[in-house]
Every structure is written in structure tokens, then in C-alpha cells.
Structure 1
């Protein structure tokens, strides 16, 4: 997968954002095939966050005004085969971590202000150039400072065709920049570029990754009509969400965080926000920007016009469409893919901690978009080495998280399983109205009982009016029960959940689960006979069930 993005840290170096946008736009209009961001007039330093771009193959930033050192995190880009940083103003030493780039074939650092020793591993690159620096090209100068396997040691000399191509490209870029500048000036709007990346496993669709923006407090105050209650979209453990309209008429959702603790203040919060913004997937809610003041923390997201899955299941107004069964299946799979990305493709992994239907939003095409991921880390930083404060919604919280405060990706899997039951039944995870008819307040216990009695059709959402495939309903419930096993290690990974929803490997896992359940219930019956509990005993089946695996 080829990904070419800007790695200049605009938040720290005062980079002109309008010029940055114009440069990127020109890159995609003129140089898409060259995988280059050369001669764009970038200034500032290279951000260490470049290390997260694991699939980057080409990084070409020559001919800019980049200063500072070369981040050691570049050594994490193990798929890199070309690194061109020539003709900048880089200083310091070449990090030894760059020796990890085993696939590197072209390495050009000439015409900078670097010093120190060159790691020996880098002399194994097919074509390199370190001239024009203060570098020591090996002990006793045993290495040449430039080498090209094609012309055996000649220095890196640009070919005539390349020079002509660069000149023509620059002329076109300058011309188009002028046109764009006057267009921007006339419309009084700043163009916000989109850099497209291909997500592993989703190569048929592309997603937009925009520049993270820092909003002014006043800007968001105006957008939300001073955070008017009439604009409240929802409220949860992390704060209220307000509908807003920016000055350019863009609709947004503004989350006003509460109960945050941020050691280091604004800088620490900003670092965490930037890490969350790196998680880019079509089934994850894209972060547009943020705002911080001495007393406030706000996050800005795109407005999802179809609101949440919970709303579409239980809160729709008369005349609004009910979620049909095909859409529910699509929501289940899309949510699973989003969580799989957070758990297995982000470094470090991101644990949601509050997976439920209310936190899965629906875009204009009713595709699932997981929201609120990473917020637990943003607002729940505690000075402890053991656990963190339990975050989540009763009925969705895994038993081990509730009892110990220790969360993992398997706690998210449990919450996802409960969300699947919400999708099938349309009901809440906890419903005290069921006390009038039975003892199962928890939706999970209620479904388990009906599954044992082979009465699953009684639990399917009545709003579907029998318009569903019962075999598919049973499959989704089976996946849900596998996800909500009492022991975290018994629960599947989200990648396994995705495969099961796609029809692979569910039968084997379900047969194993049934065997475990039979043994568990036999053990319960054995204990019941042994102690001969009567009807008046304070110990009963419900107590055992609620304290056991759910």
C-alpha cells in the first residue's frame, strides 16, 4: 500500500496553513504519479509522529526549508524504499535507527547541514548521497559519500530530463498557485486539502484524512448558539454533544468534555488528540479539530445526519424509517471492522471502553461510524500504575472491568456483543420493566434463556415486522454470546468476529461454546442438589447467573 502524506508538524512551527493547503493541492494535481512533496516551500521540523506511517514506501521532501533533526522514529518505517531529504536545512546526526530500513534502496541527504558518523548499515543502500554535509563517511574515509550501483560510485548528478521536468513542474505549480490564491481570496475561504490513503483490506474504497484544526473558543460558542440546550444531540459519560454550524455553513458535532484530568495541561491533551486523529478508517468517526482553554476541552466532529444506532432503534419519531434487517447486518459488520482497526492496526492500540449502540453513528448512507473512541484516555488519566476509573454504561461493561477496573480489547468485545443483542432486539441492555414478567433484567440473561428454550423468534425487534432472515438472526446472536463469555480469554478477537460475521469459523466456535455452557449448567445443578437450596433461600439461580459469566 503506497501512502504519501505530509509529515511536517504544522502545529509547532508556525507553518502557513494556506500555503500548506495549496502545496498539497498542487501535489495531487500535478505530481500524483511521482509520490513526491518536493519543492513545496515547507518549513518547520519533521514530526516524530511520522513513525506511525508503517506502510509508507516513498518519502520525498527535497528542496524545501525543513530544519531541525531527523526523527529517530523514521526507523519504524520498515516498508520505506526511498527516502529523499536533500536540499533542506537539516542539522544534527543521522539516527542509528535508520539502519532498520532493510528495504531502503534510495537514500539522499546531500546539501543539508548534518554532522557526525553515518551508520554503516546505510552504506548498503543501492543509491545514496551524503555530500554537502559535515558528515564523516566511515572510519578512515573507507566509504564514498555518494554511491550509485548503476554508475559505480559517481555522485548523485541530476539528469537533464529530470531538470527539465522539475522546471516545467515548478512553472505549472506557480501558475496554478496564483490562480488558487486569487480564488481563495475572492471566496474568503481557505481550501482544506484531503490526502487519500488506502486502508488495508479496504482497497476498493478511500477515505479522507484532513488537517486537524485548532478551533477558537469563540468560534465554537457562536457555532452552537452559546451551547444552547436546544442544540444538544446527546449526553454521556464524557459530556454533552452539541450540533453546530461553522462560519462556512459546515455542520459539526461539538463534544464538550467533562471530568477530564490532563497532567501537563494543554500540551498533553493536544498530544493525545493528535494520536487519536491518526486512527483513520471508514468505520471510525473522523476528528476535525479541537479547542482548549484553561477550563475547557472540546472536540469537533462531522455531523452525522442519521444520528446513532440507538436513536434509530428506540427513539425514532413518527414517519421516520425503521432500520431494516440488511442495514442492521451492515451496521454490525462495519462496527466490527472499526473496532478491529483500533485493536489490531493502531500502534499503540486504542481501547474504546464504552461500545454500545448509542456510540455507533450512521452517516448519510446508514454506514456504521464508531464514535467516542479514545475518549477514555483523554478524560480518564489517573496517577496510578494499577487501574483506571471504570468508564462505560451498565449492562455493557464486562464483568472483569467492573470488578477490577482493568480494561483490554476483550472488554470492548464484550460491549460489542451486547450491542449486537441491541441490534437484534431493539431493546436496552438493562430493562427493569421485565421484572413484571420475569427475573431477567439484563438483556444478555434474557437472550440466553430464550436461546436455551429455542424461542429466539420471540426476542427479535417487533419493528422489523417479520422482515428478517431467522438463520441470520441466529448467527448474529451466536456471535453475540461468544463475545460476552465471562472469561476474557474465551472471547474472540475482533478480527475473528469479522470473519464469523462473514460466514467463516462460527460453527466450530459455537459448538465449543455450547459444550462449555452445558458443563456450566450441569455444575450449577450439581451444586444446587448438594446444598438443597429451598425456595426461601437467599441464594438462587439468578444470583449465581449474575455473578457468573455474562
Structure 2
């Protein structure tokens, strides 16, 4: 031992110290066991890594062989290392040269870690190496000449790193064994090397999401086995090579988002096995080759945002397996072919933004699986076929045409799934059908710019999910139905430029989500209802050009959200409120009876003065100064919100583009659907991130994937799928989530990329993903099983005799949830956003230890669901941040912070986020905020908590309200939330120690 201490004092390099220490210990024990070259090399590799979770703890220098180590597989005949598989272990550091010692290594998989530095050419050039996968790391620098010393590589996956520079033209000169090449999602530039055409065995070629420029190299048509080409999201120019037509085995061709010109070559019709072709977002011109009608396997055809012209081809109706057909924003002429009705499996049809004319064919009503139909912004005439409303569509778009007649009558059972309806900018006449109220899932309705008459149906007030209603620029008369006041999610109500009469119904003051209310240019009379001042989210109010009388409600003075108010050209009297929303004289003009500085008319003596709140008034609520969130802090943040709330104005102005934004979302569809034939049903891939304790576990899961989904084992349902409990042969229990997706799903490559990112997320407060199972028809996620149910059940559905959660338990749940979310937001690379935080996704383990489930699953949705993303979150009603209702705003981690704030209030109050009373709807965060403003915030505390520590509960209430600020920038980060909760934690610990 003294010798070892002397060696340490000499500060030898880590590897030499390791070897010397081993020799000293062996000599002292009387047995000299030499360290093998493989052990020495792998221990050298380990010393260059950071292993935060101790995944490599079994790697010990005193072992004579590495064959029993985690992630190491040896050849049975030679006993030499043949495979290293260290996927998703959160390893950091660089790929050390010690692996050069493994001269019989065949597979090296270091994907989904946090490795940095460059790729070592000697390691990659090991003579027997066949598979090299270092994808999803943070590797940088240029790609070394990997094939110079190794002609055996079959798989090379360097995707999702930060590799830079061009690739030399002779890079692929010795790649005769290469089968799969993945370089996507890097920073590579320059031209695609022409030498790639010498990789005679290549089947998969992915260079997407880089900065490659120049033309697509010729010669790729020589690669007869090529099945998948993905050059999307680059800067490629020139034409699509005609020799692609020689690729008889090609199943997927993606060239989207480049700068390609010319026409689509007719030679591609020879690719008879093609399932998906995406050439969208280029500058392609010419006409559609009629030879394409031979592509009988084609399931996805996306050519949107080009300049393709000519009459829309009728032969497309013969492509019987088409599921997505997107030709939006081109220059097609002619009529919409009746033959499209033959596409029995079609789900998405988008022909908007062309020059099509004629009638909408009723034959489209035969497309029974259609989910999205957009024919907007053409020159279509005639009426809307009622057969289309009998389909199970979710999106119907006919805007910007010259359609006439009345909107079709809606029969019983029609429009069961319709969510977005846009018929604006046409010439529709007649009344608005009351049966529209039967379409119970409607979210957006736009009838603006038509010639509708009669009245607004009161039945619209029965649409529970309605958030956008635009009936402007019509000839609708009658009164505004008071029933609209029951639509609690209504964000935009635009009725301007009609013939409406009567008074503004005070019930509109119950639509607390309203951000834009436009009733201008009508014949409304009576006073402005005081209830409108209850609209705490209102940013734009336009009541101009009506016959309104009376005073302006003084409550507008205290509306912090209101940014623009136009009350001009009415008959209003009295003082003008002094708030910023009434700062422009032109927006109050035309009211002879108004007085105030803004119009230069002094108000007569005795006129009531506008109410001005004193922000320094501390008598509202008394709070101890030692608590980190005092009421003065709330007021300070609110004052800052007044400045920042300008964001809301931009948001609301973008809401009117909402429907088109959803329509354009179809342009991003990059899914590659599988062939509908039954030959694929039996092909499944099972991946488990941790090697099963018994091999039978993996075999059983792979063979029994469908059988384990028994109804009696169902333990939960959500927006993303159904969860089942399954017991493995070794007695271990897992949770299996069967994902709910349409038949059009992500490709296996895309699915695996997203799932593997989630699989590398590890934290004590997050449910660990153990693996997945994938076929085109069935996708399963295998997770840890958490036995004690979820927070929703413990709060709202307690069993008889089950005690309520104590305050200490609730506080620990809040802190555990904050720690888990904080890890997703700040401890993962790339950042993970939960998207669907709610109490049913807060699972409780032993001693109510929090485990958050379903994080990041929105990334697994098919691109098709970008139309109806909000429907996936209907079960999260009350937790959703306001920006979810506005597609123009980017969804960030602050949406999770909003949901966490609601969760805090749910823990404190024991109430659900939204509660439906007999004649009212109570939004939890609005209810608690009102109680705080009234000076009695503790009156909302769950009666089951009494007695409780006020010095802890009160700051948690305030934290919840700040987290649910309507302005995202005003919400704290989850790191700040954790810090605030940990300031309260010593109080809790001190009480427990007493």
C-alpha cells in the first residue's frame, strides 16, 4: 500500500496510475495477473467519460476479461469483445482512443448520450467494425475519412450531432459494404459527394436537415437496392435526377424544403414500390406526369408550395392506396375530379391556393376515411355538398371561393368529429343553420364575408369547446343570443358589420377567456354592460358605430389586460376612463356627450370620477414579511405585466389567421405510411433499454405484444393512448401504453428518434421509459409501473375510508413535480416540454413519491394531428395555457409552468381546475385570484386540510397565481419555482423534527 501511495504522490496520468495500481496490488497479494489489452483499452476509454448514474460500475480494472461488463458482448469462439452497446446511459466526455485496442470489435453503439469532441478516425477505422452508431450526441468537427482503413462498415449513423464542414468527394470510394447511412440533423455543408454512388449495397440514405447545396449527384440510379432517400431541409438546387426512376426498390423519397427547379421527372413512375413522395416547398414547375398513375402503392404524395400547373389530373383517383394528397399552393387549373371519390383510404386532401374552378364534386362524400379537406382559395362555384358534413372529418375549409346557396342542413349524427370549419369569403346566403349546435366538437367557426341573413342561432351556445366564432361582414339581424355567454372557452367573438339590434347581453361577461370582442358596425342600443369589465383576458374591444347610450362603465379603468378599446360613433355620455385603453381620441370620437381631457371637454361638477386603484394599498391582505412572495411582490409583477401585456395584442391580431395556420400545417407532413397490405402486420420491433433480467421477458413481450392488451388489465386512458398493466414471466410488473394514432403514423425512423430521446431521460420524479414496440399498425411504450394511482384520484375520487392527503404530503408532491419538470426543462438536451401536465399524469409511488408520466408524448403524434392538436388536450381542460388557443404563438416550457400553477392551486383547494355548476362554470385560477384581490385568499383552502400552516399555504397560493399569469414572460422558470419551494421547505422540516 505504501508503494501505491508513492505512485499517487507522483501525479501519474490516470491510465498509468490505474495500470500501476493494479500491478502493485497484485504483487502485494502474491499473484501477478496481467491486465489484458482489451481491459486496458476499455478502462482507458472509461476514464475519459463522466458516468452520472454509475452505468459502468461493473467495469473493473482487476477483471481479467471484460466479457461480463454492462454493454459488452464477446464472441463465444474467441472470447474477444465483438460488440459495445451503451445506448442512452447519459455518458458525457469524449470517445477515447483506448477502443483501438479492440481489434475484433464489430459493433459500436454509443447513441443517445452526451458525448462531445470529434470522431476518432482510428476508432472508426477498426478493421472488423461493421456497425458504428454515435447518433444523438453533441459531437462536432468534420467527419474523418472513415472508410480509408475499413471497407467492412455496413451501418454508419452520425445523425443528430453538430458535425460541420463539407464531405470530401472521395469520402465514399471504399464503401462497398455500406448498407445504411444516416448523417441527418448536423451542420454539414458543401455538395453531396458524387462518390456516394459507389456504395453499391446502400439501402438507406439520409442527409436531411443539413446545409448541403449544389445539385443532387448523378449515378444514384445505379444503387439498385436503395429504398429510402431523404435529402429534405437543405439548400439543394437543380432538377430531380431522372435516373431515380431506375430505383425499383425505392419506397420513400423526401426532397422537401430545398430550391429544386424543373419538372417532376416522368421516370419516377418506374419506382413501382414507392410508398411516399414528398417534393413540397421547392420551385418545381411543369405538369404532373400521367405516367404516375402506375404508382399503385403510393400512400403519401405531397407537392405543396411549388409552381406546378396544368389541369388537375383525374387519373389520381386510380391511386387507390393514397392516404395523404397535398397539392396546396400551386397553379393547378381545371375542376376538382370526381374520380377522387374512389380514394377509399384517403385521410388528407388539400388543394387550396390553386386556380381550380367548377363545383365541389359530391363524390368526395364517398371518401369515408377523410379527416381533413381543404379546397380554400380557388375559384370554385356552386353549393357545398351536404354529403361532406356526413363524413367524420375534423377540418373543412372552403374559404376564399365564390360558393353560393345556403350552408347545408345538418342531419342527425352528422359532423361528429368536426372541429374547424372555415367558409369565409364566399357568397353564401340564407340563415345560419341551428343544427350547427349538433357539431359538439367545434373549436373554430368562420362564416365571415358572406351574405348570411336572419339571426344567430342560440344553439351555438351549446358548443362546449368553441374558441373562435367569426360571423362578421354578413347581413345577420336579430339580437345577440345570451346563450353565447355560456361558452367558457370563447377567445374571439367577431360579429362586426352586420344588422344586429337590441342590447349587448350582459351574459357575455361570463366568457372569461375572451381576448377579442368586436361588435362594431351594427345597430346595437342600450348601455355597455358593466359585466364586460369582468373579462380579465380581454385585449381588444370594439363597440364602434352602434347606437349605444349611457356612461362608460368605470370598471374599464382597472382592466389591466385591455389594450385597445374603440367606442366611437355612439351616443355615450359622461367621463372617459383614464386608463391606457382610452388613450386615442379617434377611438372615442362621435360621442357628443363624453367629457374629459382626451376630448378637451371639462366634466361638469358632481360628475363621478373614474376609480383609481392605489397600488401601494397594503390593507388588502396581510402577509408576513419573511415569506418570499409578499403581496407587494404580486403588485410589482402585475405592474410589469401591464408593460409586457402588449404581447397579448400581437397574439389576438394573429388569432384571425388561425384557421389558415392550421391548414398550412399539413405542409409539414413527412410521415411515410406503410403499405396497407397485411404482409407487414407480423413485423414488429421490440427495443428494451435495459437488458431484461431473464431472456424470456424480451421473447414474451415480442411475441405477445397484442395479447397483453387485455381490457381487464386497463389502468388508465388519456389523450395519447390507453395504459395497461402487464406482468412479465419473471414476476416484474410494467405499464404498457398503447398509443392512439391514426393509420398514418410517423416512420419507424422518426418514431424511434423521438422515443429514444425520451428513453435517455432519467430522474427520480419521472416515470422511466423501459422500451418500445413498433409495427406500422401498433405502437407500444413500456414504462415502469407505479402502483398507487395518480394525484387526481387521491384528491377527487378517494375510496371509502381512505384518509385525505395531509399538507405535508401535498407539499412534497408539489416539490417533487417541480423537480421533475425542472429536470425536463433544464437538465435535458434537447429540452423536453411535457405539453400535457395534469393531475392524472402525476403518479404516486411509495410514501407518495411523485413520478410524472406522459412527458414529451406530443412529439409522437402524426403530423396529421397538427390540425387537431387541441383535441389531444381536451382532458387537460383548465391546465392549458392561453397560448394553446393561438397557433401564432410558439409553445414553450412556460406552458408547463402554467399547468404546474394550476396543479398547485388544485393541491391547496382540493377543487378541480374547471367545475361545472348548475348555472355557472368556475375556473379555479380565476376563482382563487378573485379571492386574493378581495383579501381572503385562505378561504379557498381545502376543508380537509384544517388545521394547516398559513405561513406555508399562503405563499404556495401566490406562487400558483404567478405561474398562471396570462403573459408567458411573467411566469417564473421551473428552476425558480424549485428555489421558492425550497425556501419554504426548512419550515416543513423544522416542524417534522419537533
Superposition TM-score, scaled by structure 2 size: 0.34
**Structure 1 residue 333: Cα displacement:** 0.9
Does residue 443 (structure 1) correspond to residue 924 (structure 2)? The answer is: yes
Q: Which structure is larger by alpha-carbon Rg, 1 or 2?
A: 2
- Map 1:241-390; keep pairs closer than 5 Å: 241-260=723-742, 264-382=746-864
C-alpha offsets along residues 165-211 of structure 1, whole Å, 9 cap, x if unaligned?
Answer: xxxxxxxxxxxxxxxxxxxxxxxxx996699xxxxxxxxxxxxxxxx
**Structure 1 residue 72: Cα displacement:** 11
Does residue 457 (structure 1) correspond to residue 938 (structure 2)? The answer is: yes
2:902 equivalent among 401, 414, 418? 418
Does residue 430 (structure 1) correspond to residue 462 (structure 2)? The answer is: no
SS at structure 2 position matched to 1:499: helix
CA distance in 1, matches of 2:692, 2:730: 17
Match of 1:543 in 2: none
C-alpha offsets along residues 104-159 of structure 1, whole Å, 9 cap, x if unaligned?
Answer: xxxxx9xx8599xxxxxxxxxxxxxxxxxx9xxxxxxxxxxxxxxxxxxxxxxxxx
CA distance in 2, matches of 1:67, 1:296: 32
Contact 1:215 1:289 in 2 (8 A): no
Residues 219 and 321 of structure 1: is their aligned pair in 2 closer, same or farther, counting only changes over 3 Å?
A: farther
CA distance in 1, matches of 2:847, 2:701: 31
Contact 2:788 2:845 in 1 (8 A): yes
Contact 1:353 1:411 in 2 (8 A): yes
**Structure 1 residue 489: Cα displacement:** 1.3
- Map 1:114-129; keep pairs closer than 5 Å: none
Match of 2:974 in 1: 494
**Structure 1 residue 345: Cα displacement:** 1.8
CA distance in 1, matches of 2:958, 2:911: 17
Gaps of at least 5 residues in structure 1 are 8-23, 102-108, 116-133, 135-189, 196-211, 505-550
Identify which of structures 1 and 2 has the higher relative contact order when contacts are C-alpha pairs closer than 8 Å and 6+ apart.
1
CA distance in 2, matches of 1:362, 1:261: 34
Match of 1:403 in 2: 886
C-alpha offsets along residues 26-68 of structure 1, whole Å, 9 cap, x if unaligned?
Answer: 537966xx9x979852535778x77964467979655374337
Residues 442 and 502 of structure 1: is their aligned pair in 2 closer, same or farther, counting only changes over 3 Å?
A: same
Aligned-residue Cα RMSD (Å) equals 4.6
Contact 1:262 1:378 in 2 (8 A): no
Superposition TM-score, scaled by structure 1 size: 0.58
Residues 256 and 448 of structure 1: is their aligned pair in 2 closer, same or farther, counting only changes over 3 Å?
A: same
C-alpha offsets along residues 350-380 of structure 1, whole Å, 9 cap, x if unaligned?
Answer: 1111111110111123111110001111124
- Map 1:2-17; keep pairs closer than 5 Å: 2-3=50-51
Residues 261 and 501 of structure 1: is their aligned pair in 2 closer, same or farther, counting only changes over 3 Å?
A: farther
Does residue 227 (structure 1) correspond to residue 259 (structure 2)? The answer is: no
1:66 equivalent among 101, 105, 122? 105
Contact 1:266 1:292 in 2 (8 A): yes
Contact 1:75 1:100 in 2 (8 A): no
CA distance in 2, matches of 1:297, 1:346: 24
SS at structure 2 position matched to 1:427: coil
SS at structure 2 position matched to 1:365: helix
C-alpha offsets along residues 68-115 of structure 1, whole Å, 9 cap, x if unaligned?
Answer: 7898999952599xx98897744899x9x97769xxxxxxx9xx8599
Match of 1:123 in 2: none
Contact 1:54 1:78 in 2 (8 A): no
More helix by share: 1
CA distance in 2, matches of 1:363, 1:347: 27
**Structure 1 residue 403: Cα displacement:** 2.4
CA distance in 2, matches of 1:261, 1:287: 24
Match of 1:77 in 2: 116
Residues 382 and 430 of structure 1: is their aligned pair in 2 closer, same or farther, counting only changes over 3 Å?
A: same
CA distance in 1, matches of 2:131, 2:772: 33
- Map 1:138-153; keep pairs closer than 5 Å: none
Contact 1:262 1:379 in 2 (8 A): no
- Map 1:33-182; keep pairs closer than 5 Å: 41=74, 42-44=81-83, 53-54=91-92, 61=99, 62-63=101-102, 65-67=104-106, 76-77=115-116, 89-90=128-129, 113=150
Query: Which moved further from structure 2: 212-221 or 310-319?
Result: 212-221
CA distance in 2, matches of 1:77, 1:51: 14
Contact 2:710 2:724 in 1 (8 A): yes
Residues 37 and 475 of structure 1: is their aligned pair in 2 closer, same or farther, counting only changes over 3 Å?
A: same
**Structure 1 residue 336: Cα displacement:** 0.9
**Structure 1 residue 294: Cα displacement:** 3.0
Residues 492 and 274 of structure 1: is their aligned pair in 2 closer, same or farther, counting only changes over 3 Å?
A: same
- Number of residue-to-residue matches in the alignment: 378
Residues 430 and 319 of structure 1: is their aligned pair in 2 closer, same or farther, counting only changes over 3 Å?
A: same
Contact 1:429 1:442 in 2 (8 A): yes
**Structure 1 residue 423: Cα displacement:** 1.0
Residues 227 and 419 of structure 1: is their aligned pair in 2 closer, same or farther, counting only changes over 3 Å?
A: same
**Structure 1 residue 263: Cα displacement:** 5.0
C-alpha offsets along residues 369-419 of structure 1, whole Å, 9 cap, x if unaligned?
Answer: 1100011111243487x9955642111111111222742111111111111
Match of 1:236 in 2: 718
Match of 1:482 in 2: 962
Residues 99 and 463 of structure 1: is their aligned pair in 2 closer, same or farther, counting only changes over 3 Å?
A: closer
Match of 1:27 in 2: 59
CA distance in 1, matches of 2:962, 2:908: 15
SS at structure 2 position matched to 1:299: strand
Residues 250 and 355 of structure 1: is their aligned pair in 2 closer, same or farther, counting only changes over 3 Å?
A: same
Residues 58 and 326 of structure 1: is their aligned pair in 2 closer, same or farther, counting only changes over 3 Å?
A: farther
CA distance in 1, matches of 2:699, 2:859: 20
Residues 410 and 6 of structure 1: is their aligned pair in 2 closer, same or farther, counting only changes over 3 Å?
A: same
Contact 2:818 2:977 in 1 (8 A): yes
Contact 1:253 1:303 in 2 (8 A): yes
CA distance in 1, matches of 2:112, 2:799: 51
